[in-house]
Amino acid sequence: MLKTRVITALVLMALLLPSLFYSSQAAWALLVAGFIGIAAWEWGALLAWKATGRIALGISTALLCGGLSLLAPNVIGAGEAFAPAAPWVFSAYGLSAVFWCLAIPFWLKHKWSLQGIGGVLVGAIVLLPTWLAMVQLRGLGAGALLGIFAVVWMADIAAYFSGKAFGKHKLAPSISPGKTREGAIGACVGVVVYGVIIRQIFGLDFMSWAVWIVALVGVTVISIAGDLYESLLKRKAGIKDSSNILPGHGGVLDRIDSLTSTLPVVALVWLIFTRQ
């Protein structure tokens, strides 16, 4: 299993890193659209759809993202100018932020299920802003997007090791038995340390220290919520992984569950502060 995971990770890195650093913004947008299309196909499994419906959902989602990139090149940074703060962009990010910050705590508490057209709409709220944020934030530079990815990775790593070392109290035992409160605290500490170092190195002083720390902790909490949410949906659907398209890792949704919650919120905060 470890060998399979390592090989898959190396293949993904060989595909994504050159694209992240060397492809055009338009090409990156289409590549991410393909990945989000796969995630939408996996979302169909969470809805207990048959193969035909899942394929249709995946293709239509990829085409929608691709169409948006062609219709609004300036918004994604692929046109003559980079103008990310379109009204519909704020609407997409705002809806995502409301969903993750206000709706998800109740969803996790009551353990609701995905059903019918509502499940499709929820999938759109989860996946489409993720595509948009992954494209727009890359417009700031490949290093900037990679640094934001690293926040989520740091949260996962710190949570794992602090949970292993100190974990005694379960965070959400009926959803994800392996997660502990000590792990969540460790994730917050790890991300704050990472954020302080990055701020000092790159001079990220567009917000005060107090707001910076609060934002880092908030992003960490939201990333944990994204992880728990997908775990809940998989339990409801009776599946272990969203798919087996990534050997040893499960599916695309399994790899981006925390990113679906964090990236749109980070993009929203970025747009708000850069417009001031």
Q: What percent of the chain clears pLDDT 90, i.e. is strictly above it?
A: 75
Looking at the predicted structure, is the pLDDT value of residue 7 above 90? no
Task: Say if CB 185 and CB 197 are below 8 A apart.
Answer: no
Q: Give me the pLDDT at residue 3, please.
A: 66
Average pLDDT over residues 4-11: 74
Task: Say if CB 141 and CB 149 are below 8 A apart.
Answer: no
Average pLDDT over residues 174-187: 93
- Predicted TM-score (pTM) of the model is 0.94
Task: Say if CB 79 and CB 70 are below 8 A apart.
Answer: no
- HSE-CB at 33 with a 13 A cutoff on CA atoms is 19
Average pLDDT over residues 175-204: 91
Query: Which among 130-134, 173-177, 205-209, 270-274 has the top mean pLDDT?
Result: 130-134
pLDDT digits (tens, 9 = 90+) for 128-142: 999 999 999 999 899
Looking at the predicted structure, is the pLDDT value of residue 275 above 70? no
Strands (E) located in 93-138? none
> Which token pair is 167?
């974990």
pLDDT digits (tens, 9 = 90+) for 12-71: 888 888 999 999 999 999 999 999 999 999 999 999 999 999 999 999 999 999 999 999
> Which token pair is 122?
């929820």
